[in-house]
Structure 1
Amino acid sequence: MTHHNDPLAHAQHTAHEWLKVVAERLGTEDRNYTYRVLRAWLHLVRDRLTVDSAVHLAAQLPEFLRGVYFEGWVPSKVPIRYDTTGFTTLFAYEGGISPADVPATASAISAGLSALFSPGQLDHVFAQMPSGLRGELASETPTPAAAPRASAEHRRLNAMEDRVQALTDAVSALAHGLEELPTEEPPRSRAAKAAQEAHRILMVAGTAKR
């Protein structure tokens, strides 16, 4: 089969071009390593977003990477509210790298993707995350003199953001379950499922907080 007749050739070429850009930012020629850490980045950022935001980000990915992005995605369980420590641990495990290498690796991938996505796309995505996690993804660092106070204050603000967002998501899940929808599912069954989902959201938030 020639390149001209291959219906997937263009999609493959585009995916390889994206990998090349990310590899250059990572300072490596190892495409297997690049793919592995890019996949970790895509999955962890995806799972920290709401369904609508995750889908919006996916629309900007090339076809093959969009498939990687959605691999294993469970919309009913997002957003997963892991903090910076949780992100680092999960990234190191999925990417097969040392936790100490996660900040530099994640920020390099972010820089590469920022040049490929439409302008401001990643800024919009990162704005939905706690400041500590934004720093992990985009190499944000506080002024050295203010670092101790900023760190403690950011932790408190992040915890508050997560609790407020968890409450918002839980109320939204309950409201959706109580809506009068044209479905064959009994209203009591929908309400029970909504209550279970709200409980799950609050439980995840409580686990992350500890």
Structure 2
Amino acid sequence: MSDTGLDVFDKTLQKTHIWLDELMQERPNCSKQEAWHTLCATLRTLRDKLPADLAAHFAAQLPLLLRGAFYEQYDPAQQPMPLRSQEEFLQQVKSTPGMIERVDADTVSAVLRVVSRQVDPGLTDKLRQALSEETRSLWAA
């Protein structure tokens, strides 16, 4: 028996929980709520730094629930936003509405490691290459 009565909802909840659980393993003192906010803020910041077509390819590999969060308040006409530094990337993550956890480079790197494990490796390489060299260092290969 499913929790929601709709298989598509149950599957996206299960897949989203896998992402959150992986992030919580990476960041042991992180609650599920903090993991959700950190994951969404990092995904949205990444989205804003990508060309629209690459962001769409990335979104297609996200669980449906995360895909909705990824596209929340998205304006493809404004993309990609210029990316000048790693600190700028981190500042955008920190300033995302709903952020409740102190975010640092290690936290963002943890999210990007989860992305690397959950998304096709070829796409992961394209995402990494779309970032500035300094910001790419957050995303250890």
CA RMSD of aligned residues (A): 1.9
Where do 1:2-151 residues align within 5 Å?
2-3=1-2, 6-7=5-6, 8-28=9-29, 30-84=31-85, 85-94=87-96, 95-98=99-102, 101-135=103-137, 137-139=138-140
Give the aligned residue type for 1:3.
S
Distance 1:122 1:28, change over 3 A: farther
Give the aligned residue type for 2:82.
R
Contact 1:114 1:121 in 2 (8 A): no
Deviation of 1:103 after TM superposition, in Å, equals 0.7
Identity of aligned residues (%): 24
Consecutive unaligned residues of structure 2, counting only runs of 5 or more, are none
Q: How many residues align?
A: 136
Larger proportion of helix: 1
Distance 1:69 1:12 in 2: 15
Q: Normalising to structure 2: TM-score of the pair?
A: 0.86
Contact 1:47 1:80 in 2 (8 A): yes
Contact 2:40 2:70 in 1 (8 A): yes
Give the aligned residue type for 1:44.
T
Aligned to 1:155: none
Deviation by residue 1:48-90 (Cα, 9 ceiling, x = unmatched):
0001000000011011110000001001110011322321211
Deviation of 1:17 after TM superposition, in Å, equals 1.5
Distance 2:30 2:11 in 1: 22
Deviation by residue 1:179-201 (Cα, 9 ceiling, x = unmatched):
xxxxxxxxxxxxxxxxxxxxxxx
Give the aligned residue type for 1:87.
F
Q: The residue matched to 1:106 in structure 2 has which SS?
A: helix
Higher Rg: 1
Consecutive unaligned residues of structure 1, counting only runs of 5 or more, are 141-210
Distance 2:119 2:140 in 1: 18
More relative contact order, 1 or 2 (CA 8 Å, 6+ apart): 2
Distance 1:46 1:3, change over 3 A: same
Q: The residue matched to 2:104 in structure 1 has which SS?
A: helix
Where do 1:175-190 residues align within 5 Å?
none
Deviation of 1:139 after TM superposition, in Å, equals 4.7
